[in-house]
Amino acid sequence: MPEYLVRLAQAHESFRKAELRALANLAGVALEFVRYEEDSPYCLVRLPSDSAAREVITRSILSQGIYELWGQGSTYDALHQSIRDTSASKWPQYSSGSFRFTVEGFRGGHSTADQRAIIDSFSYLGFKGPPRMRDPDASFRVFEDYDLDVSEAKYMYFGRLVAESKRNDAKKTYDLKKRHYISTTSMDAELALLTANIAHAAPGKLFYDPFMGTGGFPVACAHFGAVVCGSDIDGRAIRGTGGSARRGQTGKKDVVGNFKQYGMEAQYLGGFVSDLTNTPLRILPRDNDYTTGYLDGIVCDPPYGIREGLKVLGTRDGLGDSRKKTHEDKYKEPGYIPPKKPYSFTALLDDILAFAVATLVEDARLSMWMPTANDEDIELIIPSHPCLELESVCVQAFNKWSRRLLTYRRLRESEIPEGSLEAVKREYEKGKRASELNDFRRKYFEGFREFETMKKEFIRMKTDDGTNGKLSDPSTEGKTEDIHLE
């Protein structure tokens, strides 16, 4: 298979390979990674043809474009020799058309005069057509990869542009700053689109978000052609409460309005109030047939229970029969607000997996976000299910905390090991309070208490020893470093 250079965006590095694999899988083409480094935007892959390369890259969010690789080398002499050895047979088909040459450097570069000299050094290609910077028949680019603070490029590539992605157009269109209805927890548009890509959202597919909020994930899936629906335990988020979280927005704003804003109302089936432990969606009997699901994908960002404890519909234990009877009598009344009870976060994650097994078709994807910490002592175990295969784990790192995008594939019946579907006993957090039922929430706030203690110690040092909030580090040989506490 021919080799191609993918010009990646230098953002969300742990998501880039997962997205390319997902897009190749969705397109039904074989993709092989030849060279990939997280600190470089240049990735070499093998693909069957230009049409396959175009199909993979066009809808990518973390790629800028893909180029047919004509040569590579650690010096320009080596690069030119590589081009002569590997691509000489391709030169004649571009000899008479218009063309464009550009030079790109990562972590380094050249002056305009030097770039012109580099371009002139490719005159042996024999292109006779007119140079044209806009809409040429063929576009060629030299890629230079530098080490930091080094003036000479360590490696170079030369390629012909096959296709550009629509990354910039998608980011600009769905930018939350321009969206009419958002909340304080709306997922960044780029990450929502990434999630939809990795989950294989596409025309003719039905996608569902059980924690839809203001509809960020359904909007992203609809962008790629899927038909979508969603639910949330808080109906106010779906219906809107008279305005957006953005200042200056007035009037009725709701999830339906977001789909109207992007002209995708026809792809939105609607939203309903529910939680996953009491869903009205059809759950098939748990018998020997595990192949009769109806959803083509589930994408979600479950509540982490940090700001307030995680809750589901239901009454707390110990309320008594009279209180429960009251709810049973009033649940049909207009304006009725159902009661909620605290719930285990770990149990919720397992509930999501069980729901996915019961509703996804074979080979469909579940992509869900899950919080974690950069401290090994606070690490949450990745949930698993015998009917689901963990395909990728992508990490968005913050300071002390991170969150992971976990993507599972619904196994086919023939892939499920015999006897693995027997009931598995699981142990969940015990208690009635939010922190008792959510180990991550408890550790999260314990970590901040440690931080507060450290901050008080810094303040004490500032007043007691006159360092003005600066600490001496032996590794800096007596230099001082400002400690910023936010």
Could you report the per-residue pLDDT of 346-384, keeping only the tens digit for each? 888 888 999 999 899 999 999 999 887 666 555 567 889
Same-domain pairing of 163 and 306: no
Q: Write down which residue in 114, 135, 169 finishes a domain.
A: 169
- Kindly state the tokens that stand for 51: 């049409």
Sheet holding 155-164, edge to edge: 32-35, 42-46, 3-8, 63-73, 155-164, 138-145, 99-106
- Whether residues 257 and 109 share a domain: the answer is no
Looking at the structure of the chain, the number of domains it has is 2
Residue 399's domain comprises 175-439
Which CATH number goes with the domain that contains 248? 3.40.50.150
Residue 99 inside a domain? The answer is yes
Same domain, 179 and 262: yes
Of 134, 169, 204, the one marking the end of a domain is 169
Q: What local confidence, expressed as pLDDT, does residue 403 receive?
A: 87
Residues 347 and 363 in one domain: yes
For strand 42-46 and strand 32-35, is the pairing parallel, antiparallel, or unpaired? antiparallel
**What three-state secondary structure class fits 344?**
coil
pLDDT tens sequence across 390-440? 999 999 987 777 889 999 999 998 888 777 666 555 655 555 554 544 555
Structural domain contains residue 211: yes
Backbone angles phi, psi at 304, to 5 degrees: -90, -15
User: 364, 388 in Cβ contact below 8 A?
Assistant: no
Which backbone phi and psi does 219 adopt, to 5 degrees? -60, -45
pLDDT for 376: 54
- Rounded Cα–Cα distance for residues 406 and 404 (Å): 6
Q: Is residue 478 part of a domain?
A: no
Query: Do 306 and 412 belong to one domain?
Result: yes
Indicate whether 200 and 149 sit together in one domain.
no
Same-domain check for residues 152 and 201: no
Burial of 367 (C-beta count, 10 Å sphere; 0-12/13-18/19+): buried
pLDDT range class, residue 244, cuts 50, 70, 90: low
Q: Is 280 among the domain residues?
A: yes
How far are the Cα atoms of 171, 213, 228, 330, 406 from residue 62, in angstroms, in the given order?
10, 25, 23, 50, 18
Mean pLDDT of the chain: 82
Instruction: Decide if 100 is inside a domain.
Output: yes
CA atoms within 13 Å, Cβ hemisphere of 432: 5
Assign residue 143 the CATH number of its domain: 3.30.2130.30
Asked whether residue 245 falls in the same domain as residue 394, the answer is yes
As a whole-number percent, the residues of the chain with pLDDT over 90 amount to 56
Per-residue confidence band for 246, with pLDDT thresholds at 50, 70 and 90: low
* Residue finishing a domain among 169, 186, 210: 169
Highest average pLDDT, of 236-240, 241-245, 312-316, 435-439, comes from 236-240
- Of 91, 120, 87, nearest in space to 103 by CA: 120
Distance CA(44)–CA(73), nearest Å, equals 13
Query: 449 lies in a domain?
Result: no
Q: Would you say residue 314 has pLDDT above 80?
A: no
179 and 151 in a common domain: no
> Can you give the pTM of this predicted structure?
0.82
Distances (CA, A) of 70 to 23, 55, 342: 24, 20, 60
Tokens of 157: 């590539």
One domain, residues 140 and 244: no
Q: What are phi and psi of 447, to 5 degrees?
A: -65, -40
Question: How many DSSP H helices and E strands does the chain contain?
Answer: 12, 18
SS3 call for 282: coil
Yes or no: say if 401 and 395 are a contact pair by the CB < 8 Å rule: no
In a domain, 95, yes or no: yes
- Asked if 313 and 235 count as a contact pair (C-beta separation under 8 A), the reply is no
Note whether 220 and 251 are same-domain residues: yes
Residues 396 and 330 in one domain: yes
Residue 459 included in any domain: no
